Structure 1
């Protein structure tokens, strides 16, 4: 038996399983990003809202999500939350791909909580006089944010958001605990079926590293192309 069997990674059933896992991991990351970004923006605005009750809602969301491990979120949304639903709805969910859905919900909430703080920091980096100028022009809070503050703040926030995207990509591996057939799950199945641990987990390691380096390269390119200058 060869020391490293390249053939199982290049073709055949094991190759198909690993590639399917990689594709699902990428889909989990992409779907989470689509939902997490607008949620993070909403939470950041809540945390800066002029109404105290809204600020407390934003604060409660961030602190309650960030201070619970992602593993606990995964297990709750897969095992716990469906138990609160009617039996018919629960049966419908379990008949579908509830593992992927639960993973996206957990990842979205968890990622949005961290991204919200990055966006809030970007907004607070804008000089307060610009907000005051917007209000002096007759804009309300939301209009001032949309027309004056956010276009500048989001540019500042892009590098940390890309960093959070890198964390998101690595966090997709935790979905394996609820049976989502992502990359780590498929690597484990291949290892169990073939007893070729090095090949199975070597593929997973190389895939995570490659995508992570692409995201890191994107962040470096953005910082070089659009350097943040003092306001």
Structure 2
């Protein structure tokens, strides 16, 4: 293979700046989407665990809808289809007047997709707790909402830290799909560098190292969280 290696291109301008901004965009999209996914997923997961037939039907529909439709398709639906289904003023605002519409769309799509997976984890974590926990909380005078807030949810989260770690890692990898709707995150910036310099090996190697570094950092942080929050006897 006759290939001219040039690692210095990664440290020259504007390509180094592109990598930095792409990495920051990936981190911002992933973290904001994760906060939204954690909040929405916890809410849906708690409702799903209540046992009410109608509520479970609604939450199961939400989970099935957002978990079973591919994330790429959801990106396209939110970016290209939803604005066309809304009234003209609202659709124009979403497509043109909203600041950074592609970034907002990526966060919404990624957040809702991940929230459906978080909801399953939260519901499973609550179901894994001994039934006596809920009954004891109610018997001690707590309302059902207080029992969830002070007893069930804190324990459930301590149980599901390992699967949540996996979801947290996955959201960084899934953020790369945002390039399909015009978001210049890390993968898109890498492709841009390759198209300008024809140094594809160097560019994609740099992206690989950055993604691996992010994953290792998240793993170390979550392992520390898991050790600090684990219920006695579960590890």
- The TM-score bracket by the shorter chain reads over 0.9
- How far 1:225 moved relative to its partner? 4.1
Aligned counterparts, 1:124-163, within 5 A:
124-163=127-166
Aligned counterparts, 1:39-118, within 5 A:
39-95=40-96, 96-118=99-121
Gap change, CA 1:50 and 1:197, over 3 Å in 2: same
Instruction: Give the Cα–Cα distance (whole angstroms) in 1 for the partners of residues 226 and 35 of structure 2.
Output: 22
Gap change, CA 1:46 and 1:225, over 3 Å in 2: closer
Aligned counterparts, 1:174-193, within 5 A:
174-193=177-196
- How far 1:11 moved relative to its partner? 3.0
Listed as ranges, the gaps of 5+ residues in structure 2 are none
Aligned counterparts, 1:206-217, within 5 A:
206-217=209-220
When the two structures are superposed, what TM-score results if normalisation uses the length of structure 1? 0.93
Give deviations 1:2-57, integer Å, cap 9, x for gaps. 94323221230111112111110100001101111110111011111242211111
Gap change, CA 1:2 and 1:71, over 3 Å in 2: closer
Listed as ranges, the gaps of 5+ residues in structure 1 are none
Per the alignment, residue 37 of structure 1 pairs with 38
Per the alignment, residue 22 of structure 2 pairs with 21
Q: Is the 8 A contact 1:18 1:183 kept in 2?
A: yes
Q: Over aligned residues, Cα RMSD in angstroms?
A: 1.9
- How far 1:90 moved relative to its partner? 2.5
When the two structures are superposed, what TM-score results if normalisation uses the length of structure 2? 0.91
Give deviations 1:194-225, integer Å, cap 9, x for gaps. 11111221111111111011112223333444
Per the alignment, residue 9 of structure 2 pairs with 8
Q: Is the 8 A contact 1:159 1:222 kept in 2?
A: no
Q: How many residues align?
A: 231
Q: Is the 8 A contact 1:173 1:182 kept in 2?
A: yes
Bigger mean CA offset, 44-53 vs 167-176: 44-53
Instruction: Give the Cα–Cα distance (whole angstroms) in 1 for the partners of residues 46 and 228 of structure 2.
Output: 28
Instruction: Give the Cα–Cα distance (whole angstroms) in 2 for the partners of residues 205 and 174 of structure 1.
Output: 15
Per the alignment, residue 206 of structure 2 pairs with 203
- How far 1:122 moved relative to its partner? 1.3
Instruction: Give the Cα–Cα distance (whole angstroms) in 2 for the partners of residues 60 and 130 of structure 1.
Output: 28
- How far 1:230 moved relative to its partner? 4.1
- How far 1:226 moved relative to its partner? 4.2
Instruction: Give the Cα–Cα distance (whole angstroms) in 1 for the partners of residues 183 and 43 of structure 2.
Output: 28
Give deviations 1:116-140, integer Å, cap 9, x for gaps. 1111111112111010011112322
